[in-house]
Amino acid sequence: MVVLASRRFDETETDPPWRVLERLPASRMRLSCTPSQRPGWFQNLCAAVALFALVVAALRRFITAQRPPGEELPPENGFLRADEQLRIARPRTVLRVDLLVIGGSGLLGREIAAQARRAGAAVAATFHQRAAEVDGVDWRPLDIRSRPEVAELVRRIKPSTIVNAAFRQSDWTTTADGAMHVAAAAAEAGARLVHISSDAVFAGRAASYDEECPPDPVTPYGAAKAAAETAVKGLDRGAVIARTSLIIGGGASVHERHVHALASGAAAGVLFTDDVRCPVHVADLAAALLELAGSAYTGIHHVAGRDAVSRHELGRLIARRDGLSEAALPAGLRAGSGPPGALEVRLDCTVTQSRLTTRLRGAHEFLTPVSAR
Flag whether the pTM goes above 0.85: no
Nearest CA to 232 out of 195, 185, 191 is that of: 195
Phi, psi of 117 (to 5 degrees): -65, -45
Residues ≥6 apart with Cβ < 8 Å to 148: none
Query: 134-160 pLDDT, tens per residue?
Result: 999 999 999 999 999 999 999 999 999
Higher pLDDT, 18 or 41: 41
What sign does the dihedral 60-64-65-67 (CA atoms) show? positive
Higher pLDDT, 44 or 177: 177
> Average pLDDT for residues 36-41, to the nearest whole number?
54
| pLDDT attached to residue 43 | 66
Question: Over pLDDT 70: what percentage of the chain?
Answer: 73
**Amino acid identity at 29:** M
Please state, in angstroms and rounded to a whole number, the distance separating the CA atoms of residues 348 and 332.
Answer: 26
Please state, in angstroms and rounded to a whole number, the distance separating the CA atoms of residues 67 and 64.
Answer: 6
